[in-house]
Copies of this chain bind each other. A is one copy, B any other.
Amino acid sequence: MGRRVTINDVARAAGVSRQTVSRALNDKGEIDGGTKQRVLDAAKELGYRPSRFARGLVRQDSTTIGLVIPDLLNPFFTEVAAGALEAARARGWHVIVYDTADSTAEESTLAVAVSQVDAVVGYFSLGESELDGHLTGIPAVLIGREHHTPRFSSIRVDGRAGIREAVGHLVARGHTSIGMLDHAGRAGPSPRHDWFAGAMTEHGLPAHLVGNAVQSVDGGAEALHELLGRHPGLTAVLTYNDVIAVGALKAARRLGRIVPDDLAVVGFDGLQLGTVVDPALTSVALDTTRIGALAIEQAGRLLHGDPLLPDEELQVDGVLVVRESA
């Protein structure tokens, strides 16, 4: 491809200096109408486009945030991403989205990302020291995960109260045999499981009816199948998230169990998706838009050295939303 057209080429073509071209292009005053038109014509003629690098170098504005998510097709991350995009748009910032797909790509993705963004927010599976290594000092906001180094900032998700609500709701409806479809990460049971266990214990109920699901609709279906195989007496089940819950709904249907009569299902996340399925999903809902927005806001503060959002405000709490499945 041919050498790029620079402001000098335009200047030469229009017979003016390059400062004058700059004036014409940026709508500064102090320029003769005719000259301006001549310059604009020349620019168009040559197909001139200002270099964003050169421009960015001198006008030190323009903020770009890297949003790292494991899977855009997972509706939870889609919602968070939408929230982040909206918050960024309101500020005139740009968001580069990186889908790490399988987590093996995370390291190389980060390496690429770091070169083009001012700050990074999102979901990472790497440990903090590895992260720190790849991030070369860029401000970073971790979502849904505690940080232990002052190096990072994070948005916490607290589902304790919401899950307690959910268990209370089920108990009030007479359920005593309540299970959970957890999503076991590398570190064993999830916090959501712990919240579940805590709530169950409060009610004097056993919390050992637990299955593990892969994070997908099919994963949820399979897991419910398996759990019900082990514990046929189960009448209600909480799930790690809505995607898994939708799978559970599907499996229940195949097994001939009517939801919520034969089996109550409570999801987690409160996604739009839950309103689409039948029966509509009861779920411990998170304000996904707010999660994305908080991450952007905090990244901005980190970036500009503004006072950070205090811990309390960096927390998003789950709230039980009762629909039809429980």
- A residues in contact (CB < 8 Å) with B: 1-2, 4, 44, 47-49, 51-57, 60, 62, 64, 72-73, 75, 78-79, 81-82, 85-86, 89, 92, 94-99, 101, 105, 109, 112-113, 115-117, 136-138, 217, 246, 249-250, 253, 272-273, 275-278, 303-305
Contacts of A85 in B (CB 8 A): 72, 97-99
B272 touches A273 (CB 8 A): no
A99 touches B109 (CB 8 A): no
> Given contacts A54-B57, A277-B276, are A72 and B82 in contact (CB under 8 A)?
yes
A276 touches B95 (CB 8 A): no
> Closest residue to A71 on the B side, CB-wise?
B82
Q: Assembly of this chain: how many copies?
A: 2
A115: which of B55, B99, B303 is its contact (CB, 8 Å)?
Answer: B55
> Given contacts A64-B96, A82-B73, A97-B85, are A137 and B48 in contact (CB under 8 A)?
yes
> Closest residue to A73 on the B side, CB-wise?
B82
A99 touches B116 (CB 8 A): no
B138 touches A49 (CB 8 A): yes
12 examples of A-B residue contacts, CB within 8 angstroms: A2-B305, A4-B60, A53-B56, A54-B57, A73-B82, A85-B97, A85-B98, A95-B96, A217-B275, A250-B276, A250-B278, A276-B276
> Given contacts A99-B82, A277-B276, are A94 and B72 in contact (CB under 8 A)?
no
In the A-B complex, list the 3 residue pairs whose CB atoms are closest, starting with the nearest.
A53-B56, A53-B57, A1-B305
Q: How far is the CA of A132 from the CA of B275 in the complex (A)?
A: 40
A89: which of B52, B109, B136 is its contact (CB, 8 Å)?
Answer: B109
16 extra A-B contacts, CB within 8 A, seeds A53-B54, A54-B57, A250-B278: A1-B304, A53-B57, A57-B57, A64-B116, A72-B78, A73-B78, A73-B272, A75-B75, A75-B78, A89-B98, A95-B96, A96-B96, A246-B276, A273-B276, A277-B277, A278-B278
